[in-house]
Amino acid sequence: MAFYTPRERHIADLHEAFRTESIDRRTFFKVAGAAAVASGLSHNAPTPTLAAPRRGLRAQPEANALVYGSPQDISNLDPHTGHDYSIAWGQKAVYDALLRYEGNPGELKPLLATEVVGSPDATTWTIKLADNATFHDGSAVTAEAVQYNFQRMLRKNLGVAWMFATVMDQDSIEVVDPTTLNINLLKPFAPYDAVLPWLFVANPTVVQEHDVDGDEGEAWLKENEAGGGPYTIARWELGSSYEFTRYPEYWFDPENGIKPIDTFVWRIIRESATKRIAMETGEVQYGDWLSPEDLEALAATGQFVANQTPSMTPFAIKLNNQVGPTSDINVRKALSHAFDYEAALEAVSGRGTIMEGPLATGLEPWHKKDLPVLRHDMEAAKAALAASAHPDGFEMDYVYVTGDTTEELFGLILLEKAGELGITVNMVPMVWPDMVATAVEAETAPDSMAVYSGSDYLDPDNFLWQAYHSSQAGFWAAASHYMNPTFDKLLEDARADTNQENRKALYDEAQLMLVNDAVEIWVYTEIPNEAWVPELTDPYTPVMGGDLRTFGYQ
Amino acid sequence: MSLATYILRRVLLIVPTLFGVSLLTFALSRIVPGDPARLAAGAQATPEMYEQIRREFGLDDPVPVQYWNYLSGLFQGDWGRSILSRRPVLEDLAVYWPATFELVLFAMLIAVLLGVPLGILAAVRADRPADQVSRIVALLGVSLPAFWLAILFQIFFGLRLGWLPVSGRLASLAEAPPTLTGLYTVDSLLSGQWATLGDSVRQLLLPAITLSFPAMATIMRFTRATLLETLGQDYVRTARAKGATERQVVTRHALRNALIPTVTMVGLSFGWAMGGSVLVETVFDWPGLGLYATKSALSLDFMPIMGIALLYGLVFSVINILVDVTYGALDPRVSRA
């Protein structure tokens, strides 16, 4: 049936063309930026004067409530199958782990475990539990409960299991008495205590009550809790906000003199501009993933504190050490010298620290201070290239995450400087899953690939093993496919020794070896773009996910 | 053909339409590069963890088998599971759909309540200042990008004036209404939670106004055009000759006929507004299907995307049937043949 006159159809067509117009994210921000400039929200313009006093700005601190604005969802609260930074915020709120990190750099502190002792060869670990720890139903946290949680985590083999599954199995956990466990590892693992903050302990009785078809409560635990942590869930509005309320009978006192927050709300706000407005109007007290402009503008109001602490998250340009021109050590040295590290830092508005080797400089005491790192020096770059098998230059790919402007800028810096050496850099944007897939084989791994590595446990093993041990080759963090049996031996020895001085010596040697081999271009560790109201004690932690036990309103 | 037969025939035609939608979206999801299992396995996953996820979600089966499993699942109420959240897609749709429906419903309400009277005003005062203003408003309505308008509204009404919240469906510490329909305004009204009702309306205003703009502009111009055309008809001249006042001519004689095409436009605008809600939901963090679709697309989470496409296909089909039926009811001259 025809309903339209030609004129009506034209209007309808116009309308449809508008409605179906696709707008990419960059265009979005360009136009949004123009709008912001036009209306005086630009960071170059004075902060807009509000017509009415912002009473809301003080309302939530006074109510001892904290609203956290983040673009990321808490998609799965299950203590054993969910694992990312937003999930970790929620898990730490409702569950207790065996240990916890506090301060910056993070220090291991007791939580459910009062004592964790490893054998000198790092294969047997004895865990003593607090005798007053309870779950939210009042029942005691026993060694059997902890054993069940270890086993469930290993059975699920998702989330945090990668930290444990290579060194233990279902039979590794031995209950000695109601408050003592022995963990008999399959192979030595000296940083075992460092991964224990990731074993969240759920109440086995509650979990089993919600078992559906043998899923061990997995479906239920995505949005419900069975923990004993300082908070319980008050509201779960999927994809929007999650409210946690303080559990008044919480058994643990961190003894840091901080009054715990009564209500914590995780609110999903995807766009930085929206988050900034929500913070300025008092709807949100703590925001992350802000654009540098929004962060600067918020700090300029004097009503927010911008985070100034670098993360432990290294950004590196992985170079293929096995195949192609970058398999030549002199080419890698040439590229490392050619890269302009200061320009890279400027590209992120100075919000970072240039790396001095493969470990973040803040990873004390493990980072080796006097490494002969390769700095921007075009003469040295030319000399290194002249000594290589490709003195006249070559063509190489730089692979980065599609739409990641920071990684793109780093690639452009490499492109410009390498171009001066006669090296042609092809900018290749890719979606992350494809990047991961290409890195699997040395033959398919790109010549160079932009990678941010995460920090799950604050030990050099977290960064060095996953990125450079030959057993990890093919894993995205090990996209450089570095193969060095001598280096492998150093890491294996460091895993098999609980003496920290011995480990420090081994890791020092390992870092030196990586720098001498110019394995990749270590660029910087970022300072996360987070801001919070000044009434909060410093909430920032370099470990994934914040811990509400460690900060509050002063 | 009787109305019932007509409706039945149109409903049956939805089945092949949805089959086409499912085939197309499934094919597209298998053509686009990227491996959702790798993304879902997480940054640090071991190869065993990755393989486990592929097995669990049937991604290791041949593609035709995967499609057959998907199709047979649909008929049993199993729309697959999100590989990222691991939740059943149908459950997610049930959570996110009411938010989008509420937003689009309010947007269309605003569009009709403003668009129709302004269109009438523009028609009866054709080529006078009111008409010129309405023309400018209409031009802005169809030409201003929704996200740009959204940010301007946020800055003006949220930041500068401090009148309205800029994101979310409910204030952070507000009490949520019990889930009756999933529409917060309706649920808080039914349960007598007046504070929540006020809060949810405040939250709804900016995104709904933003979303209503293009529809309002189109409805306004449509109403104007059709009313002007109708006012030139012979029967209207006859009414005037019989001594009817101009108000009577417009409201009693011309408007009903003039509004028939507008009804069609309202129905179509409803469907367009659903599509347009993606941008508006993103800027206002409105937890609806648009936001869910964006999140799923960015994560290569194909099952939710296919589920959303099916749901949208279904809604569009139903709206089209309703529009056609309404049109036929309003104008008996329209044949259902």
Query: Positive or negative CA dihedral for B64, B69, B72, B73?
Result: negative
pLDDT at A370: 92
Q: Which helix (H) or strand (E) covers residue A182, if one does?
A: strand A180-184
Q: Are B135 and B122 in contact (CB under 8 A)?
A: yes
Residue A126: how many CB atoms within 10 A of its CB? Answer: 16
Least confident of A265-269, A294-298, B2-6: B2-6
Pairing between β-strand A65-70 and β-strand A286-287 as defined by DSSP bridges: parallel
Model confidence at A148, in pLDDT bands (50, 70, 90)?
very high
Q: Chain A residues with CB inside 8 Å of B95's CB?
A: 238-239
**Interface test mutation site (partner A, options B38, B44, B227, max chain A beta carbons within 10 A):** B44
The residue with greater pLDDT, A190 or B300, is A190
Report ipTM for this prediction.
0.76
Q: Chain A residues with CB inside 8 Å of B49's CB?
A: 157-158, 161-162, 165
R_g (Cα) of chain B, nearest Å: 24
Number of H helices, E strands in chain B: 14, 0
Q: How far is A48 from chain B (nearest CA, A)?
A: 7
Q: How would you label A233-268 residue by residue, b for 16+ Cβ within 10 Å and e otherwise?
A: bbbbbbbbbbbbbbbeebbbebeeeeebbbbbbbbb
Q: Chain A residues with CB inside 8 Å of B41's CB?
A: 158
Cα distance between residue B306 and residue B289, in whole Å: 12
Residues 156-195 of A with CB under 8 A from B: 157-159, 161-163, 165-166
Least confident of A304-313, A322-331, A485-494: A304-313
Q: Specify whether B283 is located in the same domain as B304.
A: no
**Highest mean pLDDT, choosing among A181-195, A235-249, B316-330:** A181-195
Report DSSP state, residue A473. B
The residues, any chain, with a CB within 8 Å of residue A200's CB and separated by 6 or more, are A79, A80, A91, A92, A95, A96, A97, A149, A227
Q: Do residue A19 and residue B95 have CB atoms under 8 angstroms apart?
A: no
The residue with greater pLDDT, B5 or A139, is A139
The residues, any chain, with a CB within 8 Å of residue A184's CB and separated by 6 or more, are A123, A124, A168, A171, A172, A174
Q: How would you label B232-251 residue by residue, b for 16+ Cβ within 10 Å and e otherwise?
A: eeeebeebeeeeeeeeebbe
Q: Does A16 touch chain B (CB under 8 A)?
A: yes
Q: Are B107 and B118 in contact (CB under 8 A)?
A: no
Q: Specify whether B137 is located in the same domain as B285.
A: yes
Q: Does B31 touch chain A (CB under 8 A)?
A: no
Q: Does B86 touch chain A (CB under 8 A)?
A: yes
Q: Which helix (H) or strand (E) covers residue A68, if one does?
A: strand A65-70
Model confidence at B335, in pLDDT bands (50, 70, 90)?
low
Q: Do residue A274 and residue B285 have CB atoms under 8 angstroms apart?
A: yes
Convert the pLDDT of each residue in B263-312 to its tens digit: 888 888 888 888 888 889 988 999 999 888 888 887 788 899 999 999 99
Q: Number of Cβ pairs closer than 8 Å across A and B? A: 210
Q: How far is B282 from chain A (nearest CA, A)?
A: 7
Q: Are B92 and B82 in contact (CB under 8 A)?
A: yes
Nearest by CB to B176, from A11, A237, A265: name it: A237
Q: How would you label A321-356 residue by residue, b for 16+ Cβ within 10 Å and e otherwise?
A: beebbbbbbbbbbbbbbbbbbeebbebbeebbbbbb
Q: Which fold has domain A314-526?
A: Dipeptide-binding Protein; domain 3 (3.10.105)
Nearest by CB to B264, from A3, A52, A243: name it: A3
Q: B88 pairs with which residues across the strands? A: B81
Percent of chain B with pLDDT over 90: 31
Residue A33: pLDDT over 50: no
Q: Do residue B172 and residue A243 have CB atoms under 8 angstroms apart?
A: yes
Nearest by CB to B42, from A31, A65, A83: name it: A83
Cα distance between residue A111 and residue A255, in whole Å: 12
Closest-CA residue of chain A to B291:
A239
Q: Do residue A157 and residue B154 have CB atoms under 8 angstroms apart?
A: no
Q: Do residue B275 and residue A67 have CB atoms under 8 angstroms apart?
A: no
Q: Specify whether B238 is located in the same domain as B278.
A: yes
Residue B30: how many CB atoms within 10 A of its CB? Answer: 11
Residues 128-147 of B with CB under 8 A from A: 142-143, 145, 147
Residues of chain A with CATH 3.10.105.10: 314-526
Pairing between β-strand A124-129 and β-strand A180-184 as defined by DSSP bridges: antiparallel
Cα distance between residue A352 and residue A309, in whole Å: 9
Closest-CA residue of chain B to A279:
B159
Cα distance between residue A275 and residue A280, in whole Å: 9
Q: Which two three-digit tokens encode residue B198?
A: 């006020």
Q: Does A209 touch chain B (CB under 8 A)?
A: no
Q: Do residue A432 and residue B39 have CB atoms under 8 angstroms apart?
A: yes
Convert the pLDDT of each residue in A97-110 to its tens digit: 999 999 877 889 99
Cα distance between residue A538 and residue B129, in whole Å: 59
Q: Are A242 and A265 in contact (CB under 8 A)?
A: yes
Q: Specify whether B95 is located in the same domain as B219.
A: yes
Convert the pLDDT of each residue in B124-149 to its tens digit: 888 888 888 888 888 888 888 888 89
**Highest mean pLDDT, choosing among A23-32, A518-527, A535-544, B232-241:** A518-527
Q: Does B91 touch chain A (CB under 8 A)?
A: no
Q: How would you label B280-301 residue by residue, b for 16+ Cβ within 10 Å and e otherwise?
A: bbbbbbbbbbbbbbebbeebbb
Cα distance between residue B65 and residue B67, in whole Å: 5
Cα distance between residue A436 and residue A433, in whole Å: 5
Q: Which helix (H) or strand (E) covers residue B185, if one does?
A: helix B184-190
Q: Do residue B167 and residue A269 have CB atoms under 8 angstroms apart?
A: yes
Convert the pLDDT of each residue in B176-233 to its tens digit: 888 889 999 999 999 999 999 999 999 999 999 999 999 999 999 989 999 988 888 8
Q: Specify whether B70 is located in the same domain as B107.
A: no
Q: Specify whether B69 is located in the same domain as B186.
A: no
Q: Does B126 touch chain A (CB under 8 A)?
A: no
Residue range A110-121: mean pLDDT, rounded: 96
**Interface test mutation site (partner B, options A198, A235, A274, A301, max chain B beta carbons within 10 A):** A274
Of B195, B284, B175, B201, the C-alpha closest to A278 is: B284
pLDDT at A59: 60
Give the CATH superfamily of A56-71+230-307+528-554: Periplasmic binding protein-like II (3.40.190.10)
Q: Does A2 touch chain B (CB under 8 A)?
A: no
Convert the pLDDT of each residue in A44-62 to its tens digit: 333 333 333 344 455 677 7
pLDDT at A17: 34
Residues 247-276 of B with CB under 8 A from A: 261, 264-265, 268-269, 272, 275-276
Q: Specify whether B75 is located in the same domain as B99.
A: no
Q: SS3 of B232, please?
A: coil
Model confidence at A34, in pLDDT bands (50, 70, 90)?
very low
Cα distance between residue A551 and residue B53, in whole Å: 37
Of B167, B100, B155, B204, the C-alpha closest to A271 is: B167
| Residue B33 phi, psi dihedral angles, 5° rounding | -70, 160
Nearest by CB to B38, from A76, A433, A456: name it: A433
Model confidence at A178, in pLDDT bands (50, 70, 90)?
very high
Q: Does A277 touch chain B (CB under 8 A)?
A: yes
Q: Specify whether B138 is located in the same domain as B273.
A: yes
Q: Do residue A239 and residue B276 have CB atoms under 8 angstroms apart?
A: no
Residue A31: pLDDT over 60: no
Q: Please tell me the number of Cα atoms within 13 Å of A24 on its side-chain side.
A: 5
What is the average pLDDT value for chain A, to the nearest integer? 88
Model confidence at A29, in pLDDT bands (50, 70, 90)?
very low
R_g (Cα) of chain A, nearest Å: 26
Residues 44-83 of B with CB under 8 A from A: 44-46, 48-49, 52-53
Q: Does A84 touch chain B (CB under 8 A)?
A: yes
Residues 424-483 of A with CB under 8 A from B: 431-434, 436-437, 454, 456, 466, 476-477
HEC states along B82-141? CCCCCCEHHHHHHHHHHHHHHHHHHHHHHHHHHHHHHHHHHHHCCCCHHHHHHHHHHHHH
Of B40, B25, B108, the C-alpha closest to B313 is: B25
Alpha carbon of A158 to those of A200, A448, B49, B137: distances in Å? 14, 29, 6, 54
Inter-axis angle of helices B255-284 and B194-231, nearest 10: 140
pLDDT at B334: 66
The number of domains in chain B is 2
Q: Do residue B158 and residue A222 have CB atoms under 8 angstroms apart?
A: no
Q: Chain A residues with CB inside 8 Å of B97's CB?
A: none
Q: Structural domain of residue B314, as residue ranges?
A: 1-84+299-337
Q: Do residue B173 and residue A243 have CB atoms under 8 angstroms apart?
A: yes
Nearest by CB to B142, from A14, A269, A456: name it: A14
Q: Chain A residues with CB inside 8 Å of B332's CB?
A: none
Model confidence at A28, in pLDDT bands (50, 70, 90)?
very low
Residues of chain A with CATH 3.40.190.10: 56-71+230-307+528-554
